Amino acid sequence: MDKYERIGRELIHKGAIIDYYQDTIKIPNGNVAKWDFIQHKGAAAVVAVKEDGKLLMVRQYRNALDRETLEIPAGGLNGADEPTDLAAMRELEEETGYKAGKLELLLSLRTTVAFCNEKIDVYVATDLQPARQHLDEDEFLDVESYDVDELIQMIYDCKIQDGKTVSSILAYKNKYCK
């Protein structure tokens, strides 16, 4: 045997955002292993560029870290089949109170490939127009804006550690700030 084969998958817990499974895998040496698997419906995120070139960021509390983080606007898909560009537009308006006149795919990333299938499509939003912020009932965040170089410095100072935010800001700088 020279490949991996999933021979079983058991749902351990169904959650609001993720479903947790235990997989039974036949591994290349013929042994059987139990591996954790987290199924995620996917997400979309936005590098929102204001007319002055500053990027819109959201500061919010994250329970897993028990602290506030500074991130690009993002959110989960309403369903695995929701187009990510529509989700990106929705999340931008919900979180920041802006609509984008133009949206372009920047990159797709997998957040934690060892145990989770989460995929985030990240878009660059330009031609921003004021709209109305409408947060979820349990969502409290502040909208801030920064120069790209300020954000890059925050990454290297370990003040921004969120993977989607780090990769998206660096990709944006590389592609658009020559």
**Over the stretch 33-47, which tens digit does the pLDDT of each residue have?**
999 999 999 999 999
For 95, the token pair is 């979180």
Please say whether the beta carbons of 96 and 56 come within 8 A. yes
For residue 1, name the pLDDT band (cuts at 50, 70, 90): low
Q: What residues contact 32, with CB distance under 8 A and at least 6 apart?
A: 7, 24, 25, 26
60, pLDDT greater than 70: yes
91 is catalytic: no
For 104, the token pair is 């372009």
136, pLDDT greater than 90: no
For residue 137, name the pLDDT band (cuts at 50, 70, 90): confident
Q: Quick one: which of 46, 146, 41 has its CA closest to 104?
A: 46
- For 161-170, the pLDDT digits (tens) are 999 999 999 9
The angle at the Cα of 125, spanning 168 to 72, to the nearest 5 degrees, equals: 40
- The 8-class DSSP code of residue 113 comes to T
For 168, the token pair is 């998206």
* Catalytic choice (68, 91, 93, 137): 137
